[in-house]
Structure 1
């Protein structure tokens, strides 16, 4: 799930959309040029050793030194240079220059506007408005303190103009950040659309990213299957599970959540105060074109009460054989028309693209299932029957051997190994035909069986350690299982280890597989597991080998989710 350090969060200083190192260096350079220019003008226009002149030179010299230090530190990419400190110092510098040299000088206004522009473009409306108000207040206080009298009327007029310009600049900065955040969201949704994770995980991730973008309390879809007429809902909330499968919902409840017309955008915003009447903002918009129109306020207000929402937006959604809506619900923040129009774009392009990818994946999976069924039949007719014959021959040989034969134990192990191979081959054939056993997930069962076989055949004790829910699609599960099997086989066949461990750690964004075996203090020569590395690369990940701290070798595989 997305956290507060998401690149879509406009309060994060290092967000790549608007606050990278190049921007920091450019701002530090502009700030240094401005203060050096102001200092040069003050030196050229120096008119005497008066107290005000000395104070102005002292303020500018001190700030020029501070800006020089900040410029050098920005080159070193220190953390504090990426925060809000410098533009707030610019605002304070404006007041200090007014207090030192008077309000007739133009440079205080230059630093005031520079602070507002930087705060607005990097942090949006809230920080831009905050810096504007504080800077103008400091400017007025410094001007009044300089004159030692009540400020002239034109000072308040100047303050009003500065506040208006500051608000406009902050609004433009907010639009810039919103555009960057929307671009980042669309890019993330394109990356989420990967069929190997399964449709449930893919849709959950897309809805969670959408919820996080709007800073909403929940995001969900209500869909009606065109064939069966049944309704299903898929909902995500902050801190929810990685996979939110659809759950069937009562038809009456679903129809209450699908107001007519179903092809229109919906926007509802509750009233700010009940004292001014129960009416809120209830609007609809035809996605194909047109303008915003007033909608049945009672219907949307009842739906807001059902969802416990201060505001919500909804867009039509077509997914496979189903039609319905996607909702974004905010319990505190008020959503707007621009939010609704952008949600319609997400539903029409990104979520629909996920459905198209899932359809193509199902077509490919059906074709692969037919091919696997044919291979399973061939496997049964060739390899399984041959191993059964080998097993029967070994059993007959054991019966013919005398009780005192020294090879009885070895023959017994061969019989057991042949029986295990027959069981494994039958499992392969059953899995290829799509017949999964009930009970424990087949992934965990297969790992435990592989570990038991390693103990029986090679005397290697394999510990299986799983951390986090292994919730991803069947295709990725099969690839991960094959990687683990290959790793266990390498430990058993190519090392003298008697103990090993397989650790699988699954987080929101990464699956990490560690295959750990002891080497008895004698480190093996550098090697690269080719088969595992190729499988990991095909999944968009990587494999590498490292040496542990306790005389062990660790094969690590990382697969991004």
Structure 2
């Protein structure tokens, strides 16, 4: 997730990528550098001790800073990323050599590099820059002023390191706040009703897992209808749709420790023989404080989750209540993480909860509409095809076996019977509210390909990625798109073979329907039905010709 604002470095870069901010930093850097040059030239008590090399370095750096500030669109590489503040640290050595460590101005220049690094990249980078500045300060001071007592320089270095650590912590809090805002904002955006509750919930839990850099994120809810419990688990590099699976009642009781309203935090100790770094705490609410929790119970739960640290918060989703878990195997989670997880469970999942309610209302309404459509389909299309079939059967009986049209009539009777069976199958599926899963989706595609080969003599090859997981709602829509594409090839082209390819590309589903067109390319066209279906899903449909004399109809659907 290097491009996501939930990523730590990307969050800092996004938060600080504003043009006004970049220009402000460039202006401050220019003012400090020019001031350092002026101090080194005009405010030097002993002109004979002027460090010409350091002064030359400062002058060149000041010229570069002026160019960056005056021409922001033509910035060299060192003005972007971590290299710019690290170069500030290196140049600070020249500042110390030119103006001396006793001058307060050198410390201001050092603090500037620490502030820029901390506000942009957080604690780790801020601490690294602080250590580097302290080492440069101490070494440059020893070289420039050998008569100064090392103890005094060491005191200055310690104070500088302490202030650098504080500034780095403030920068970390700034970036953490930006990441939390980005998470809550993105959780509202993943709630897409057209993809169903399973995909939206999986995407939301994956955002939570990625935010905490955890190994897994789990949500356990009770099912008021069945009286059981449903568990949804999202892991790194997992499928895009993680359905909720029923679990054993004993396992559900183990994962729902009392009291249910408490926020839990568990961290295993660093060593088995001591309790350093370990904790087992519970938090009852906004005005309460962290209290010790039964460490044995939470240790068993951590072993059940396969984690060294986990946080858990109560969650209420629809009519169900349960717990939200975030478990890690390589890092320790803290109290702030646990309290923010409680905020996610309380606020971040509200949009998906509303989607679930609307989805159930829409499903009930759609069920009634499907039954009406099934009855209309039976009374209009199916009855008409049955009449056509009976007429063809009667015509076949009148024709003598030696009639040259007998074979064609038998083929028409078979085609009519296949169409009637297909219509009855569609009517039966319309009456049933249970949608098809991913396995049934691929099986339906293969049945459609087999029917195209039997009826029209067109061989359809299905090429689907192994990680394609569409879920119920989107799978039904994609199935209709592929059916329409195959039907267009069979009815409007002379192709005897075609390919249907389904693949993921980032957050986009690509559907390619490919058929050869021979030596002459067809005139430009736009499939109206496919375009309307793709547009209803927020995607697009386009047609292009490849170099191998093939026509490619591509449908792109955002996920």
- TM > 0.5 between the two? yes
Query: Secondary structure of 2:137's match?
Result: helix
Residue of structure 2 in register with 1:454 after alignment: 452
Q: Is residue 247 from structure 1 mapped to residue 245 from structure 2 by the alignment?
A: yes
Residue of structure 2 in register with 1:221 after alignment: 219
1:280-295 aligned within 5 A: 280-287=278-285, 289-295=287-293
1:337-376 aligned within 5 A: 337-376=335-374
Q: Is residue 542 from structure 1 mapped to residue 540 from structure 2 by the alignment?
A: yes
Offset, 1:232:
3.2
Gaps of 5+ in 2: none
Residue of structure 1 in register with 2:90 after alignment: 92
1:508–1:264 CA distance, 2 compared to 1 (3 A) = farther
Residue of structure 2 in register with 1:264 after alignment: 262
Offset, 1:522:
3.0
Residue of structure 2 in register with 1:336 after alignment: 334
Residue of structure 2 in register with 1:119 after alignment: 117
Q: State whether residues 196 and 359 of structure 2, in contact with CA within 8 Å, keep that contact through their aligned partners in structure 1.
A: no
Residue of structure 1 in register with 2:472 after alignment: 474
Moved more, 75-84 or 89-98: 75-84
Aligned residues: 559
What does the per-residue CA deviation read over 1:385-435, in whole Å, with 9 as the maximum and x for residues that have no partner?
Answer: 210110121122123223443433443343233222212211110110118
1:450–1:221 CA distance, 2 compared to 1 (3 A) = closer
Moved more, 514-523 or 275-284: 275-284
Residue of structure 2 in register with 1:532 after alignment: 530
1:226–1:497 CA distance, 2 compared to 1 (3 A) = closer
Query: Secondary structure of 1:386's match?
Result: helix
1:157–1:346 CA distance, 2 compared to 1 (3 A) = same
Query: Secondary structure of 2:461's match?
Result: strand
Query: Secondary structure of 1:11's match?
Result: helix
1:556–1:69 CA distance, 2 compared to 1 (3 A) = farther
What does the per-residue CA deviation read over 1:266-309, in whole Å, with 9 as the maximum and x for residues that have no partner?
Answer: 12233344554489423222235433233333433343344343
1:214–1:464 CA distance, 2 compared to 1 (3 A) = same
TM-score calculated relative to the size of structure 2:
0.90
The 2-side partners of 1:474 and 1:279 are apart by 45
Q: How large is the RMSD of aligned CA atoms in angstroms?
A: 3.0
Residue of structure 2 in register with 1:186 after alignment: 184
1:448–1:370 CA distance, 2 compared to 1 (3 A) = same
1:199–1:7 CA distance, 2 compared to 1 (3 A) = same
Residue of structure 1 in register with 2:143 after alignment: 145
Residue of structure 2 in register with 1:109 after alignment: 107
The 2-side partners of 1:278 and 1:94 are apart by 39
What does the per-residue CA deviation read over 1:438-458, in whole Å, with 9 as the maximum and x for residues that have no partner?
Answer: 999443343334334434444
What does the per-residue CA deviation read over 1:321-369, in whole Å, with 9 as the maximum and x for residues that have no partner?
Answer: 3221111122232212211111011111222432331122122112111
1:198–1:154 CA distance, 2 compared to 1 (3 A) = same
TM-score calculated relative to the size of structure 1:
0.90
Gaps of 5+ in 1: none
Residue of structure 1 in register with 2:426 after alignment: 428
The 1-side partners of 2:350 and 2:403 are apart by 70
The 2-side partners of 1:466 and 1:309 are apart by 35
The 2-side partners of 1:232 and 1:439 are apart by 18
Query: Secondary structure of 1:284's match?
Result: strand
What does the per-residue CA deviation read over 1:489-527, in whole Å, with 9 as the maximum and x for residues that have no partner?
Answer: 333333343332111114673211011122224333433
